[in-house]
Amino acid sequence: MGGSERSREEPNGGAKRVGPFYENEFSDHRIFADPVSDGSTPEEQGQHEGATEEGAGEGARAERPSDQWRKILGPYGGADIRRSLLQILTSAGPLFVSWYAAYRALEVGYWLTLILAVPTAAFVMRLFLIQHDCGHGSFFKSQKVANFVGFWLGVATFTPYGYWRKTHAYHHAHSGDLGFRGLGDVDLITLAEYREKPFLGRLRYRIYRHPFVLLGLGGFFVFALKHRFPWDIPRRWKREWASVWKTNAALVGIFGLLGLTIGFKAAFLVHLPVLMITGTVGVWLFYVQHQFEDTYWNEHTDWSYFDAGLQGSSYLVLPKPLQWITASIGIHHVHHMSAKIPNYRLQQCLDENPQLQRVTRIGIWDGIKTLSLALWDEESKRLISFREARHLARDPA
């Protein structure tokens, strides 16, 4: 995706991927920058580097959107250690209790274990979102502490922290940019790209975007299998590959210990449904945050970081208990405007700034209906379904 024919690095797995990421057209370290807290957006950086006169550079700097948004969002950034530690305690503790209860429920009947898998999965998901904040550097004042905690939370959520942190940072740095797809996102192609694919290519994409595959099989596949060996990242990511092997080793040790104490069968029966629920709901949450009809996608030359944050990220309105379980990740547009805002300040930031309230609001049922959308129509600037794509093919006018 992206049409360059220059030499590409071949990722693990053999097949070459197309796009600026694989062609080394961006600097790895810059994807961790938060434009509100750390500097300019990618497009502003390019403008600033292109300025030839010092005065012009200063004028451009004064007018940067990142400077304007820094005044609005800056006060909400930074960690409150007390609140961060409290969130970990009120998430990890209940997870341990509910997992143990699900194990003891095997003595009553597997039906009770399956029921208890729901709250257990909810707390796994909450820990994943705390890990998510650690990756963005918003949960602790020290990134070293955040990385240490994030690694062990990644073990609990079957997610190699270093690998996930980098791919997710890439997603934030290029969300909504048609020239930078292929990493950290739900795969999306344009209507024109879909029409150019051969029959088998269209069939593969349709199967991939089917809700049963995307959520049911896809969630389990990502957390249980792909996170054990993420073949789509380049070999040059030494630290990220190390995080994969360390996470795998920790999981082998933990489940080996469980096997010696409660038995491998019991451990499998308890955690399998937890993993399936977490994967399905987690992928759906990530999906609805960017995959809705009037979302934002643009070619790289016309792409804007802040427009992508406001227009291309939804506000998923959830009941308060579900918002707590999901660590307010539904207030996703605010999170994309500045990832340095910890989850426990997102609601306050939204409530106190009217300019953040004029965005796409999605309820649970709306989020379910968006699952039929699969193709970006560049003419109408909308995400459309395969059915609408067929209609447009019959009646182009």
Domain residue ranges in the chain: 40-72, 79-394
Q: Please enumerate in sequence order all residues whose Cβ is within 8 A of that of 103, keeping only pairs 6 or more positions apart, or say none.
A: 113, 262, 266, 270
Q: According to the per-residue pLDDT averaged within each range, which of 32-41, 299-308, 330-339 is highest? A: 330-339
Q: What is the pLDDT of residue 64?
A: 75
Q: Would you say residue 7 has pLDDT above 60?
A: no
How many angstroms separate the first and last alpha carbons of the chain?
A: 27
In percent, how much of the chain has pLDDT > 90?
A: 72
Q: Which residue's entry shows tokens 């403008």?
A: 47
181 band by pLDDT with thresholds 50, 70 and 90: confident
Mean pLDDT, all residues of the chain: 86
- With CA atoms as reference, report the closest residue to 329 among 307, 305, 348, 346: 346
d(Cα 1, Cα 26) in Å, to the nearest integer?
16
Q: What is the pLDDT of residue 31?
A: 65
| Cβ neighbours of 27 (radius 10 Å) | 10
CB 79 within 8 A of CB 342: yes
CB 128 within 8 A of CB 87: no
Using alpha carbons only, give the angle 356, 312, 231 rounded to the nearest 5 degrees: 130
Structure tokens at 98: 């509910």
Q: What is the DSSP string of 15-57?
A: ----STTTTT-S-GGGGG--HHHHS--HHHHHHHHH--SHHHH
Q: Would you say residue 19 has pLDDT above 50?
A: no
For the four alpha carbons of 290, 293, 294 and 297, in that order, the dihedral sign comes to positive
155 band by pLDDT with thresholds 50, 70 and 90: very high
Rounded to two decimals, what is the model's pTM?
0.86
24 band by pLDDT with thresholds 50, 70 and 90: very low
Question: How does pLDDT run across 222-278, given as a tens digit for each residue?
Answer: 999 999 999 888 888 899 999 999 999 999 999 999 999 999 999 999 999 999 999
Q: According to the per-residue pLDDT averaged within each range, which of 23-27, 29-33, 210-214 is highest? A: 210-214
Q: Would you say residue 18 has pLDDT above 90?
A: no
- The region of weakest confidence among 184-188, 204-208, 280-284 is 184-188
Q: Would you say residue 25 has pLDDT above 50?
A: no
Q: Which residues of 356-381 are buried (b: 16+ CB within 10 A; e: fewer)?
A: beebbebeeebbeebbebbbbbeeee
Higher pLDDT, 79 or 35: 79
Q: What is the pLDDT of residue 44?
A: 60
Instruction: For 233-253, give the secondary structure using H, E and C.
Output: CCCCCHHHHHHHHHHHHHHHH
